[in-house]
Amino acid sequence: MDSQVTRWQRQVVRTRRLIVEPLLAHHADELIDLLDERVNRYFPSQDVPSSQAALREQFAEMERAANSRDDGRRFHPFVVRTAVGQTCIGRLEVLMHDRDAEIAFVFVPNAWGKGYASEAVKAIINHFELAGVQRFWACVTRGNAPSLRLCERLGFALAEVPQDLELWTYDDGDIVLTFESAGNL
């Protein structure tokens, strides 16, 4: 599966309204609105970049991690663009553990309420199902009702923290959700 997954890592995923492409460090300059306090209110403060330079470094670190993981997991960061105008509106991350994958997402405020996050997450789930992922996980900070509703709309269900799988995106107290793949959404 690993060579198959590597092939998928660099593919661009398209929907009617969106383009989901591999994240590169320079995308930080297009996603400066991720520094908006409304975006970061649910993240632990140590995970929130404090400046454009820190955001660039975070993106550079993600780009390096996508190309150099040696712990058996595969990290796939993506940016989300509108198909019309090519405007960067968000970021998705997929961390694969064999046939399981964690998915995380964050979008700029101007993209909220337009269905972009649902559309992008559906597309990336469909994409990784083709690479053999059978179960998806999402960890949502308590109080983040919009992200929780999005996950529930996509068919994710509340779950316990798995004992046989270390969720990289889990912080103590997060709500854990899972989605069992049964074909395309």
- Separation between Cα atoms, residue 48 and residue 33, nearest integer Å: 12
Q: What is the CATH number of the domain that holds 128?
A: 3.40.630.30
User: Beta-carbon neighbour count of residue 180 at 10 Å?
Assistant: 10
Judged by phi (left if over 0) then psi (alpha if -120 to 50, else beta), residue 30 lies in alpha
Please provide the average confidence, as pLDDT, over all residues in the chain: 89
pLDDT for the residue 115: 97
Asked whether the whole model's pTM tops 0.75, one would answer: yes
185 is a domain residue:
no
Number of domains within the chain? 1
Per-residue pLDDT of the chain (185 residues; tens, 9 = 90+): 444 445 545 689 999 999 999 999 999 999 999 999 999 898 888 889 999 999 999 999 998 888 766 665 688 999 999 999 999 999 999 998 888 999 999 999 999 999 999 999 999 999 999 888 999 999 999 999 999 999 999 999 999 999 999 998 999 999 999 999 876 55
- Give the torsion through C-alpha atoms of 111, 114, 181, 24, to 10 deg: -20
pLDDT for the residue 44: 82
- Separation between Cα atoms, residue 78 and residue 82, nearest integer Å: 13
- Map residue 150 onto helix, strand or coil: helix
Q: How far is CA 157 from the centre of its chain?
A: 17
What are the helix and strand counts (H, E) for the chain? Answer: 5, 8
Domain that holds residue 68: 2-180
- Separation between Cα atoms, residue 88 and residue 132, nearest integer Å: 28
